[in-house]
Amino acid sequence: MDGEFESAIEQLENAARKGYLKSHADSIFAYKHLGVMYAAQYETMEKGKAYMYRLLSIEPSVKILDMYASEMIYMIFRNVQAEYQIRTTDPKTLSAVSTNPVQSDSAKGNGKEKVATGRSLAWPYWTAGAVALAGVGAVAFFLIQERPSEPRHYNGGL
């Protein structure tokens, strides 16, 4: 309670280290709580992200709404989810994924380069496609539009 997570973190990490997480539900519970508790403190935020990533690797559809965490932690989790989806759909980055939460940041890099690179390569194509589609729509509108014809006068059948 009140942000004092040391005891709970120690118990959950001991359970994971000693193999007490026997079921899928046990692992989800432990990784979810460790991820949220570590992410709540700036100094351990990266470790929290690693546990969140590990959580997603065993249950990709998991939610943390039941944790009643802060908006910042929800945002961190959404970012980790987005990164997880990018990495698991791109075979090139799949081999670079590490789910070891205790690995140092210097050994694994911060991971932002891969995500930013993947996004920066896609957005120009989406933007160009949207602009082209808008241009085609505008041209089609003007070409299909009926042109007003000259008024016809009825001269009484003469």
Mean pLDDT along residues 81-106 = 63
Half-sphere exposure of 63 (CA within 13 A, CB side): 3
Q: In the 8-state DSSP scheme, what is residue 145?
A: S
Beta strand segments in 47-119, E: none
pLDDT at 46 over 60: yes
Of 37-41, 61-65, 120-124, 129-133, the one with minimum mean pLDDT is 120-124
- DSSP states of 2-47 as a string? TT--HHHHHHHHHHHHTT---SHHHHHHHHHHHHHHHHTSGGGHHH
Q: pTM for the whole thing? A: 0.54
How far from each other are the two terminal CA atoms of the chain, in whole angstroms?
A: 99
Instruction: Give 90's contacts (C-beta < 8 A, 6+ positions apart).
Output: 118
pLDDT at 118 over 50: no
Could you tell me the pLDDT band of residue 50, with boundaries at 50, 70 and 90?
very high
Of 25, 26, 35, 27, nearest in space to 5 by CA: 35
pLDDT, one tens digit per residue, over 63-79 is 888 777 888 888 898 99
Query: Tokens standing for 8?
Result: 């709970």
pLDDT, one tens digit per residue, over 26-35 is 898 989 889 8
